[in-house]
Amino acid sequence: TVQPNIYHFFADATITPPSDAKPKELNKCNQLELKGLESIAPLVRSVEETPEPIATEVCGTIPTWIRGSLLRNGPGKFEFGNQHYNHWFDGMAMLHQFKIEDGKVTYRSRFLQSDAYKKNSERNRIMVSEFGTVAMPDPCKNFFLRFLSRFEMIEATDNASVSFVKYKGDCFVSTETNYMYRVDPESLETQNKVDWTKFIAVNMATAHPHTEPDGTTYNMGNSYGRKGALYNIIKVPPMKNNPEETLEGAKVLCSIVPADKARPSYYHSFAMSENYVVFIEQSIKMDLLKIVTAKLRGKGISEGIYWDPKQDTVFHLVDKHTGQTSSVKFHTKALSVFHQINAYEEDGFLMLDMCCSDNGEAINTYVIQNLRKSGEALDQAYNNMYRAFPRRFVLPLNVTNDTPTGVNLNTRPASSATSFKTAIDKVVCQFEDLHGEDLYEYGGLEFPQINYSKFNTRPYRYFYGCGFRHLVGDSLLKIDLEGKKVKVWYQKGLFPSEPVFVPSPDAVEEDDGVILSVVVTPTEDKSTFLLVLNAKTWEELGRAEVPVNIPYGFHGTFNPTA
């Protein structure tokens, strides 16, 4: 058990967290080489659900003003019978709830009762294909039927294992197909399955929508037709006309034509400012022919996703009010982007902040086989992967035919980002780093979060994330954009999840509140805990120890008590 009342944090960015995995030198990825990484195999093992709430042991103090639940989503089952999933994204969705009230915490979890989960459980084998795993033909069928089944298209999975999202005030769990599930945030019980294709002409939607203060929600999704793929901006109204409604009233705000309709970009999320949706057409591509023939070839659809470093990354700006796409496209070098930090407009510029990597092959690193490696093989898997770092692009909004070429259009003081007009409808951009040299010591930053309710689409000062000195997050970071200073929470052998910011009820400053993170360890059995940090000082306030094992998950949200 973790010793109570011993608070491990680093408030000074010059302090390097102690570790047996000491940085040695820059590797071919131009990043610090690490040796001696500990095995995290137990963090990607199947676990049992805990459907009824259980008490936790609180060490330290959890503020009594926190009233609500931290809801988390991620894979919780990695095999059925003797068949195993290949990719981390394939595991069956497990929903977690840490309910906080009067300084106390209870925990519960349930497997999402998706059709995929129920079919797999009923036959005790993988019946539904996932991102990196193709369901093999049923051995109970005769040879001819097994042969024919190879020619069927892979059906979209409803294993909604990525995140919790809200539409019209209701709670859903989502993945990157056309399916979501409405769930009860109190009991975690699965309610009804929702299919985007029944409401608008899209074949999928991301698990990272953006929400306006009035509840209007924006998302993105692809559609596929005879003429190839389209990227679509989706708008969902804020209110329901009756309690049973889900996505009624949703509409496609606009459609964007890919640079190559047969090989559109893969995207996990998008950015939004006050007046624009920003779509990032990145250099991770989807070979549609390989994807539609994946089952025939006995491969997962992940085999059809590839990195093309010869392709520019292009930023498309869409006016949220008119649905018009800007004729000016903003280009930069090939980048890989999974999560944005924030985007806002100021003085005629749009600041686009996101976590970027210079290589897009990381998605193939997260196969179960790699995550369960140890020793030199684990070190090699990690050191061959490019890490993500927070960067800012400054996009000029008033580019016209009269705008000169050969001049840096970014006139913001103290900004090193550049934007050069090179053609009537093309601006070439170079980012500026949103961090100091010290962030290399912590393996970059991913799973970024901000004080979303007050500062999304607005100028802001702080963001939070996980440091990645391993294949999963192993520290919690706070970056202050004034001076690009970093504060670090780290304890050897512990792996914290995506930090979730919860503002205090009497908040005055941007970082008045707490950070919630679920911390797991591969070295001790049933030693998970919910960590509560003071978001301003980065000091540990308390932790709620849970006597269960939880795999390392993806995304979460705080659902306040009404």
Which residue positions form the known binding site?
208, 268, 339, 555
175 phi and psi angles, rounded to 5 deg: -130, -150
Which strand (E) or helix (H) includes residue 279? strand 276-281
Which strand (E) or helix (H) includes residue 143? helix 143-149
Strands (E), 88-216: 92-101, 104-111, 163-167, 170-174, 179-183, 190-195, 210-211
3 state DSSP class of 562: coil
449, 477 Cβ separation under 8 angstroms: no
Which residue from 269, 271, 236 is spatially nearest to 253, judged by alpha carbons?
A: 236
Binding residues for Fe cation: 208, 268, 339, 555
Long-range contacts of 382-385 (CB under 8 A, 24+ apart): 382/34, 382/37, 382/470, 382/471, 383/27, 383/29, 383/31, 383/33, 383/34, 384/29, 385/29, 385/361, 385/471
Q: Which residues of 449-464 are buried (b: 16+ CB within 10 A; e: fewer)?
A: bbbbeebbbbebebbb
215, 137 Cβ separation under 8 angstroms: no
Which residue from 518, 530, 527 is spatially nearest to 555, judged by alpha carbons?
A: 518
Which residue from 553, 544, 554, 557 is spatially nearest to 107, judged by alpha carbons?
A: 544
Helices (H) and strands (E) in the chain, counts: 7, 39
Query: Got the DSSP string for 360-427?
Result: --HHHH-BHHHHT--HHHHHHHHHTSPPPEEEEEEEES---TTSPSSSB----TT---EEEEEETTEE
DSSP state of 488: E
Number of neighbouring beta carbons within 10 Å of residue 33? 16
User: Residue 355 and residue 339: Cα distance in Å, rounded?
Assistant: 6
Number of neighbouring beta carbons within 10 Å of residue 372? 17
